[in-house]
Amino acid sequence: MQAISPVDGQVLGVFEKSSAETIRRQMDAARAAAAAWSSIDVTRRVRLLSRFSRILLDEADLVVDVIMRSTGKVGTEALLGEVYPLLDLANYYEKHARRILRYRGVSTSPFGFPGATAGIERRPYGVVAVISPWNYPFQLTVAPILSALFAGNAVIFKMSELSLPVGALIGDLFDRLDLPAGLVQAVIGDGQIGELLIDAGPDLVFFTGGLAAGRAVMQRAARHPIPVLLELGGKDPMLVFADADLDRARDAALYGAFSNSGQACVAVERMYVEQACYEGFVQMLVEAAAHLKVGQGLDGDLGAMTSPRQIAVVEEHYRDALAQGAKASGPLLREGNYLKPVVLWDVHHGMRVMREETFGPLLPVMPFSGEDEALRLANDNDFGLNASIWSGDIRKARRIASRLQVGNWAINDVLKNVGHGRLPFGGAKKSGFGRYHGAEGLRSFTYPVSGLICRSRLPKEPNWFPYNAERYAHFKGFLDFVYGEGSLYRRIRRNWPALQAFREYSVFDLMQRWQNLRLMLPWNRDN
Ligand code: NAD
């Protein structure tokens, strides 16, 4: 498979496609590595992994260079969008993985479980298959790899067929760590190879990509069945109220819609502006967009589109909008793989540009009359990844945010949630499910195992055999005592015979109250 640079058509490398047989062998090696890795104490795992961020920082220029040539994005975008979020995430897990993954006590009813305490252990799945897209190929592959590794798993990743040199670079960087052989491996190929990877039987599939491929991945995984986490597309709205700082909102809109040439799952894909400031604001956007520079390397705001296939989608959305009456700030100019950004207005929800993921430098803007209409328009889409609300009234913005059908929202900022290592990231509706980043995200790469420790020295638990009518009556009385209505005195009085039947268990009550108290200390508490 050839890797061709979208910048200038240069061949960046030739890669051999993986076969079903090599993938099976890789899976065997990954299983052995997972067993070794999960048995290493978390503190030592963290120490071994913490070298990754040091290497990444030292090699930032090399990483940025490979990303620029493979994707066409400009250097600052590669540094801020691909390197920075990984440093933040790795730093957070280096400091907190131990705490996030440790055994946690939960409170235990002394009546149902006399003399017992309980807790939850987090166990790694085993081998995680990471399947990733081309738009942020480095970050969107390394973040799930690191999360899986911190949690104690082995990883086999499949980089997008459009970003193979980035996959090779990731392999090289992990090879520099002192990890068990086979802990991080790559398979090379397209969607079909992705299906072979699933068929090889990983224990979890972490997929980032479009809705169609996400469905196919889930179907394939269902055959086994293997759990999947899907991070899919978006059609993110930005809502601007007249009481917002409009200059700041304008600059945010341009950045949100056009960074990485709009090829971001959390890009601003639809913009809604309060009627009172709509016309002036569109004018501000058009004027400012004209100053954006398309460029390459370290110059320019927008780089190249990564694939001609995506350019075709952008062109179709542009044509469809104009055919249905939209106005545009200019023609959709193309030079090689470079597109000039365009602002669109007089748009409506019958247009593809307002319904489907465009994933390119188009910013359609539509007016709304008030809070309710803004919400209705924002929620009128199948996707639900990210959204932003712009207003000087934070209470109003919070009220609206809480009713948006999304996995992430920001007030008076755009896109940034995804770069915050402590915030779980993921979608609602057709943007997928599952979370990564943050504490919840690290736990997504583990499954909970429940544990019960009984310290009773009595010969039997109250619920064990034999059963008979008298026992049944005692249990009923016991349930009424614990869960029934009325004061404690009344419940004791009416169920006295039942309580007598269980009196030998009450000595454990005190002991257990003490244990529960200990488990309920803030640093031991989970729920
Ligand atoms: P894509 O769905 O075409 O491909 C993603 C990956 O899946 C690639 O590695 C591809 O080879 C593989 N794949 C495709 N079909 C497969 C199959 N049947 N079985 C197994 N693997 C298969 O996506 P893309 O075009 O590379 O990326 C763009 C999409 O990704 C956009 O929709 C974007 O919104 C989405 N995305 C989502 C997030 C998020 O976090 N929610 C982040 C970035 C991108």
Q: Which atom of ligand 1 is nearest to the CA of 209?
A: 30
- Tell me the CA–centroid distance for residue 446 and ligand 1, in Å: 23
Q: Which atom of ligand 1 is nearest to the CA of 161?
A: 11
- Tell me the CA–centroid distance for residue 414 and ligand 1, in Å: 22
- Tell me the CA–centroid distance for residue 213 and ligand 1, in Å: 6
Ligand 1 pocket: which of 17, 197, 217, 236 to mutate (most atoms <8 Å of CB)?
A: 217
Select from 381, 390, 387, 423 the least CA-distant residue to 404: 387
The identity of residue 295, as a single letter, is: G
> Is 69 part of a structural domain of the chain?
yes
Structure confidence by residue, pLDDT tens digits, 167-216: 999 999 999 999 999 999 999 999 999 999 999 999 999 999 999 999 99
Shared domain check, 259 and 213: no
Q: Hey, whose CA ends up nearest to atom 17 of ligand 1? A: 191
Shared domain check, 364 and 497: no
Q: Is 202 in a helix, a strand, or coil?
A: coil
Residue found by looking up tokens 């917002």 in the block:
244
Q: Is residue 294 within 8 Å of residue 332, measured between CB atoms? A: no
Whether the predicted pLDDT of 526 surpasses 60? no
Q: Is residue 311 within 8 Å of residue 350, measured between CB atoms? A: no
Shared domain check, 184 and 323: no
CATH at 387: 3.40.309.10
Whether the predicted pLDDT of 312 surpasses 50? yes
- Tell me the CA–centroid distance for residue 200 and ligand 1, in Å: 20
Query: With b meaning 16 or more CB within 10 Å and e meaning fewer, what string describes 414-443?
Result: bbebbbbbebbbbbbbbbbebbbbbbebbb
Q: Is residue 477 within 8 Å of residue 497, measured between CB atoms? A: yes
* Residue 472, domain extent: 450-524
Residue 527 pLDDT grade (very low, low, confident, very high; cuts 50, 70, 90): very low
CATH at 27: 3.40.605.10
Residue 116 pLDDT grade (very low, low, confident, very high; cuts 50, 70, 90): confident
> Is 355 part of a structural domain of the chain?
yes
Structure confidence by residue, pLDDT tens digits, 208-261: 999 999 999 999 999 999 999 999 999 999 999 999 999 999 999 999 999 999
Residue 182's CB is within 10 A of a number of other CB atoms, namely 21
Query: How many structural domains are present in the chain?
Result: 3
Shared domain check, 241 and 211: no
Select from 302, 310, 390 the least CA-distant residue to 356: 310
Shared domain check, 409 and 458: no
User: In this structure, are strands 327-328 and 342-345 parallel, antiparallel, or unpaired?
Assistant: antiparallel
Shared domain check, 278 and 243: yes
- Tell me the CA–centroid distance for residue 2 and ligand 1, in Å: 19
Residue 524 pLDDT grade (very low, low, confident, very high; cuts 50, 70, 90): low
Q: Which atom of ligand 1 is nearest to the CA of 220?
A: 19
Structure confidence by residue, pLDDT tens digits, 394-443: 999 999 999 999 999 999 999 999 999 999 999 999 999 999 999 999 99
Shared domain check, 193 and 63: yes
Could you tell me how far CA 484 lies from the centroid of its own chain?
Answer: 43
State mean pLDDT over 59-78. Answer: 98
Which residues are catalytically annotated? 231, 265
Residue 275's CB is within 10 A of a number of other CB atoms, namely 12
Angle, CA of 448, 449 and 454, to the nearest 5°: 140
CA distance 420 to 519: 30
Shared domain check, 322 and 183: no
Shared domain check, 262 and 397: yes
> Is 341 part of a structural domain of the chain?
yes
Whether the predicted pLDDT of 5 surpasses 50? yes
Q: What is the pLDDT of residue 508?
A: 55
Residue 503 pLDDT grade (very low, low, confident, very high; cuts 50, 70, 90): confident
- pTM assigned to the model: 0.94
CA distance 115 to 123: 26
Structure tokens at 118: 């309980």
> Is 91 part of a structural domain of the chain?
yes
Whether the predicted pLDDT of 510 surpasses 80? no
Select from 426, 382, 386 the least CA-distant residue to 237: 386
Select from 170, 83, 72 the least CA-distant residue to 130: 170
Shared domain check, 356 and 273: yes
> Is 112 part of a structural domain of the chain?
no
CB-based pocket (< 6 A), ligand 1: 131-135, 140, 158, 160-161, 190-191, 194-195, 208-210, 213, 216-217, 220, 231-234, 265, 357, 359, 385, 427, 431-432
Shared domain check, 388 and 485: no
Shared domain check, 412 and 333: yes
Ligand 1 pocket: which of 187, 232, 236, 386 to mutate (most atoms <8 Å of CB)?
A: 232
Share of the chain above pLDDT 70, in %: 96
